[in-house]
Amino acid sequence: MDRKADPETQLEVDEAILDYLIYTAIVSLLKLFDTTDSSPRTEHTAHLLVQMVDAFLPVFHSLHPNHKASPEIQLRLRLLQFTYVFVQHYYPFSAYAALSRRPSINTEDPEPPKSANLPQEDSQAMSLSQTLPLFLALSAVQNELQGSTITEIWMMLAAGYMAQAYIEQVVVHQNERPDLLEDVFQWGYDAGCRAERGSEQWQINDMFGADESSISLWESIRREHVEAVRAPSSIIFIEISTKRWYMIQLRPSDHTSLMDHLASMTSGALSVVAFREKVSEFLTGLLSAYTAPLLIQLERGEVVGLSRKATKALKVRSGFIQQAMDGI
């Protein structure tokens, strides 16, 4: 006898599956930052879960073309997209760059993904300057969803991100564009922004312009980081301190080239290792700021709002216990 999905519950079930896959893919990618836990098996698991999300998204769209997922799921998908491209930048693995094309589960987007095609073998990781807008957009959506404003700690992370992106362009990609520094550090509040309300550009601009104190503080932090990476011209002492980040940077003398200056900073004041750790902490914190998907809670044996007895009963009804017994 053929069994068909109940149309009244299919959306709920499919959304729970999608949320579960997104969440577990993020967790697996974040494990790659942990050198004590990173292994070929960890990498393989991350690959597999990213592929499963990429494959399931178009199926979800085809089954529920008019559905708009909850803000939490949409945020988690953004988090997955950014985590993927950022992890791939430092830990490139094969050609699994599907999520860098930024699929969306918001049906109001112009062109939601119609297929799960993985990229070709010559796909390359995005540069830090290319991932920077994704980081800012993710942060803006998070702030809007939480009804919060950017903090000094986040500003330090964002300015450090811009500095790292600039250093990479100069040192790694030999980029000599005269407007490169200004381009990388362009982000901030623009009172004359004409972006469409609700667009990513509008959200990012709104995030930076929360209030006068935030605008002023960001301008100060951004300026300090611009000066830190600017072409050396004299010996300058710069000190930046926050609750979590203390940086002292001594500018070199005139005979030091910009290339040498920036290269030396990556092992000192603007350590690449420290930068990766701070981004990892940010992503981990963002993931844990929201209640885990229902299927994750069931796996853990604790569902928010339910007693252990009720949770066990739900696991039985949903097939969790039987599936575990069957080794599925």
Question: pLDDT by residue (tens digit) across 117-129?
Answer: 333 333 567 899 9
User: Of the given ranges (79-83, 237-241, 260-264, 282-286), which has the lowest mean pLDDT?
Assistant: 237-241
- The mean pLDDT of 160-172, rounded to a whole number, is 93
State the pLDDT at residue 106: 47
Which segments within the chain are labelled E, that is strand?
237-241, 246-250
List C-alpha distances in Å: 59 to 77, 80, 116, 122.
16, 18, 9, 26
Task: Calculate the average pLDDT of the chain.
Answer: 78
pLDDT at 239 over 80: no
More confident residue, 162 or 117: 162
> What would the pLDDT profile of 44-65 be if each residue is shown by its tens digit?
888 899 999 999 999 999 999 9
Q: What is the DSSP letter of 296?
A: H
Q: Which of 259, 275, 328 lies closest to 160 in space, CA to CA?
A: 275
Report percent pLDDT > 70 for the chain.
Answer: 70
56 CB burial (10 A radius; 0-12, 13-18, 19+): middle
- Which 3 state secondary structure label does DSSP give 106? coil
User: Given a cut of 50, is residue 188 above it in pLDDT?
Assistant: yes
* Residue indicated by tokens 């993904």: 113
pTM for the predicted model, two decimal places: 0.78
What local confidence, expressed as pLDDT, does residue 275 receive? 93
